[in-house]
């Protein structure tokens, strides 16, 4: 297969971690006979320095013309004092809006080799914990009317059936590519928007008979994520609930450097990036953990390019690297000599095999 990938290296550790993800993609291309063409895109602080704009229109157009976008991270102290509309994060917001991505998808996986890093009890971590939260990204209370009048503040929570249906479909389709279990999380005992949410999810379930749908109230879900996270495969939920639950879920894995994410909209073209920022404190020191970006590339193969075997191969290579005991500084135990960012990427490339 032939795929065009827009590559945003960004700022801080961005260029270092993206380089390693591209090395992994290149090895996948060799093993499986694909061609990945990369187009460099300037976004964030580096684009401000070069173009005076965190995402010039021509750079956005390169992303829109691609089959998917791989992003490192943007921002850093150098650009703290630029005017608000020119901040590096504005580039990211413009990119998400331009691509029309309305779904943010974050896996929460506890790698057995890193179980000690989880704040959960060993008996809970011993289970196979590997789920994904599909969060509606551009609707709900964050996008409703906000006002404060005469000492009373109001925030409007509103969802249309169409908005619920399109995120619901991403939930069902994600479940189809995984363990075929979807848990719809809402607060239908109190909120009208949640009752509509539940109704739409059940209507959609008839179109996806291979996926088992369950319902859970958001307060119960917050408890279940720490009590019995192994029960989940895919969770689909609205914007604010998803914001809170996905942060809770990333905490139980214990390492910010390991977590990938995707943002999807109506087309197969997605935005793939690690959940962490540009880590200016370790930038340029060959210390960053590139695994969150490497696993983001694996998500791109699975969810945008329908290359499940290739995505599995990357995840197995990461597992083999961890099994062998290698750790970057962020997850190394005391007394252990960490490997650098480049060595980590090279080792994962070496462990890549075609089944």
Member of 40, 49, 116, 281 binding ligand NAD (CB under 6 A): 281
Q: Per-residue string for binding with ligand NAD, 235-264, x by CB under 6 A?
A: ---------------------xx-------
Closer of 134 and 331 to ligand NAD (Cβ): 331
Choose one: 46-54, 102-110, 217-225, 280-288; the region binding ligand NAD (CB under 6 A).
Answer: 280-288
Torsion of CA 184, 190, 192, 196, to 10 degrees: 20
Q: Per rule CB under 6 A, is residue 296 in the interface with ligand NAD? A: no
**Residue 49 annotated to the active site:** no
Please report how close the Cβ of residue 197 comes to ligand NAD at its closest, in angstroms.
27
Q: Is 128 one of the binding residues for ligand NAD (CB under 6 A)? A: no
Inter-CA distances, 185 with 21, 155, 303, Å: 33, 21, 22
Count CB-CB contacts under 10 A for residue 28: 25
> Using the 8-state DSSP alphabet, how is residue 333 labeled?
P
Give me the long-range contacts of 189-193 (CB less than 8 A, separation at least 24).
189/217, 191/157, 193/140, 193/157, 193/158, 193/159, 193/238
CB of 140 closer than 8 Å to CB of 164:
no
Q: Are 110 and 118 in contact (CB under 8 A)?
A: yes
Residue 142: closest CA among 63, 283, 242, 239: 239
Task: Compute CA 200 distance to the chain's CA centroid, rounded to the nearest angstrom.
Answer: 25
Find the helix or strand (DSSP H, E) in which 248 lies: helix 239-253
* Residue from 54, 75, 107, 168 in contact with ligand NAD (CB under 6 A): 75
Instruction: Name the residue nearer to ligand NAD (CB basis): 86 or 230.
Output: 86
Q: Pick the closer one to ligand NAD by CB: 168 or 290.
A: 290
Residue 243 catalytic? Answer: yes
Q: Return left, alpha or beta for 163; rule: phi > 0 is left, psi -120 to 50 is alpha, else beta.
A: alpha
Whole-number Cα distances in Å, 119 to 96, 131, 229, 243, 277: 32, 17, 13, 20, 22
β-strands 271-274, 260-264 pairing: antiparallel
Residue ranges in 4-43 that form contacts with ligand NAD under rule CB under 6 A: 13, 17
Q: 187, 303, 326, 351: which is the annotated catalytic residue?
A: 187
Choice from 22, 277, 302, 305 touching ligand NAD (CB under 6 A): 277
- In the list 59, 104, 184, 278, the residue contacting ligand NAD (rule: CB under 6 A) is 278
**Per DSSP, what are the bridge partners of residue 3?**
36
Task: Examine residue 288 and tell whether it contacts ligand NAD (CB under 6 A).
Answer: yes
From 42, 243, 326, 330, the catalytic residue = 243
Among 107, 242, 270, 292, binds ligand NAD (CB under 6 A): 292
**Does residue 279 interact with ligand NAD by CB under 6 A?**
yes
**Which one among 5, 7, 25, 73 touches ligand NAD, defined by CB under 6 A?**
73
Active site residue 142: yes
Q: Is 330 in the site for ligand NAD (CB under 6 A)?
A: yes
Residue 38 bears catalytic tag: no
Which residues are marked as active site? 142, 187, 219, 243, 247
Residue numbers of the site for ligand NAD (CB under 6 A)? Answer: 13, 17, 73-76, 89, 92, 256-257, 273, 276-282, 288-289, 292, 330
């Amino acid at each position: 297969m032939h795929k065009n990938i827009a590559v945003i290296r960004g700022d801080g550790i961005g260029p270092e971690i993206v380089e390693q993800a591209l090395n992994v993609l290149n090895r996948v291309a060799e093993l499986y006979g694909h061609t990945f063409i990369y187009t460099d895109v300037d976004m964030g602080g580096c684009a401000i320095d070069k173009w005076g704009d965190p995402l010039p229109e021509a750079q956005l157009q390169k992303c829109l013309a691609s089959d998917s976008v791989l992003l490192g991270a943007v921002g850093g102290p150098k650009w703290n004092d630029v005017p608000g509309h020119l901040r590096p994060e504005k580039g990211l917001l413009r990119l998400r809006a331009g691509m029309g991505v309305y779904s943010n998808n974050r896996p929460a996986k506890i790698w057995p080799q890193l179980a000690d890093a989880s704040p959960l009890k060993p008996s809970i971590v011993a289970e196979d914990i590997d789920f994904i939260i599909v969060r509606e990204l551009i609707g709900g209370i964050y996008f409703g009317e906000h006002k404060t009048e005469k000492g009373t503040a109001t925030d409007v929570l509103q969802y249309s059936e169409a908005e619920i249906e399109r995120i619901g479909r991403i939930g069902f389709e994600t479940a189809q590519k995984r363990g075929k279990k979807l848990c719809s999380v809402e607060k239908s005992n109190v909120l009208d928007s949640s009752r509509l949410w539940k109704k739409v999810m059940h209507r959609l379930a008839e179109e996806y008979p291979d996926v088992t749908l369950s319902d859970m109230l958001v307060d119960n879900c917050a408890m279940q994520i720490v009590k019995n996270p192994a029960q989940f495969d895919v969770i689909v939920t609205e914007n604010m609930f998803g914001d809170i639950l996905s942060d809770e879920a990333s905490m139980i894995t214990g390492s910010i450097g390991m977590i990938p994410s995707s943002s999807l909209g109506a087309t197969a073209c997605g935005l793939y990036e690690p959940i962490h920022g540009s880590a200016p404190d370790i930038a340029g020191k060959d210390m960053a953990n590139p695994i969150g970006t490497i696993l983001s590339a694996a998500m791109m193969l699975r969810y945008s390019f329908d290359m499940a075997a290739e995505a599995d191969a990357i995840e197995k290579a990461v597992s083999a690297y961890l099994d062998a005991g290698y750790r970057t500084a962020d997850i190394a135990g005391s007394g252990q000599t960490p490997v650098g960012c480049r060595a980590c990427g090279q080792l994962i490339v070496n462990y890549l095999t075609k089944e």
